[in-house]
């Protein structure tokens, strides 16, 4: 807050540039080497998912709801047209990557965890790569598939920088660290002044 008691808000005039800076920083932080084209894909993915309707499916009444990944996979497999099938697998990969990165803590309370999204996303991007006609696209999707778990951590690091953490968020983050031993979760907790205790972790397990 400034001297007049007013909150200073950082306005992002160019989201693409904003996300590029965050992605580049997160890649360096996690020591992830990637091709410039793949880095651009990640930046563009974040830019696209700024709109909530990009993450959810629109129903007949005009509302938006989350479509289960299992149903999306079923629809993609049963799609007879290769081009349409490829687009569906790409969406599955995109949704899996974004969800696993940005909603990692909340996934610990769902029926499926982050590992499920990683497996699905890896498989989806592999399918897209195998059907890509252009060499550069094939290279991008192969790298997305190969380094999917690493890119999840990169997006999670971006989420840490853009999403304020409440007490519930920190608790979920701690539970994630207890369950997986995630280095990113440990660093995020330390940044919030919470020191992960390995002794507690062993007792909990």
Is the pLDDT higher at 176 or at 7?
A: 176
Beta bridge partners of 58: 64
Residues 61 and 93: their CA atoms lie apart, in Å, by 27
Cα separation of 193 and 123, whole Å?
Answer: 37
- The answer to which of 6-15, 17-26, 126-135, 166-175 has the lowest mean pLDDT is 6-15
Instruction: Identify the band that residue 55 occupies on the pLDDT scale cut at 50, 70 and 90.
Output: low
173, 164 Cβ separation under 8 angstroms: no
Ramachandran class of 166: left when φ > 0, alpha when ψ lies in -120 to 50, beta otherwise: beta
Judged against a pLDDT cut of 70, whether residue 170 lies above it is answered with no
pLDDT at 116 over 80: yes
| pLDDT average, residue stretch 153-175 | 71
Percentage of the chain exceeding pLDDT 70: 61
Please report, in angstroms and rounded to a whole number, the separation of the first and last CA atoms in the chain. 43
- Whether residue 193 contacts residue 53, with contact meaning beta carbons closer than 8 Å, is answered with no
């Amino acid at each position: 807050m400034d001297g007049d008691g007013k909150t200073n808000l950082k306005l992002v005039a160019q989201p693409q540039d904003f996300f590029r800076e965050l992605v580049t920083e997160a890649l360096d932080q996690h020591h992830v080497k990637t091709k410039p084209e793949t880095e651009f894909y990640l930046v563009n993915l974040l830019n696209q998912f700024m709109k909530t309707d990009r993450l959810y499916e629109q129903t007949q009444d005009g509302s938006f709801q989350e479509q289960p990944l299992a149903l999306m996979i079923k629809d993609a497999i049963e799609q007879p047209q290769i081009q349409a099938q490829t687009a569906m697998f790409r969406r599955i990969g995109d949704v899996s990557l974004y969800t696993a990165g940005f909603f990692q803590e909340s996934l610990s309370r769902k029926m499926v965890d982050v590992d499920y999204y990683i497996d699905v996303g890896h498989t989806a991007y592999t399918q897209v790569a195998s059907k890509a006609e252009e060499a550069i696209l094939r290279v991008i999707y192969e790298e997305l598939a190969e380094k999917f778990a690493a890119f999840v951590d990169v997006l999670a690091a971006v989420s840490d920088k853009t999403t304020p953490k409440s007490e519930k968020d920190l608790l979920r983050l701690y539970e994630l660290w207890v369950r997986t031993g995630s280095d990113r979760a440990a660093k995020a907790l330390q940044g919030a002044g919470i020191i992960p205790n390995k002794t507690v972790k062993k007792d909990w397990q």
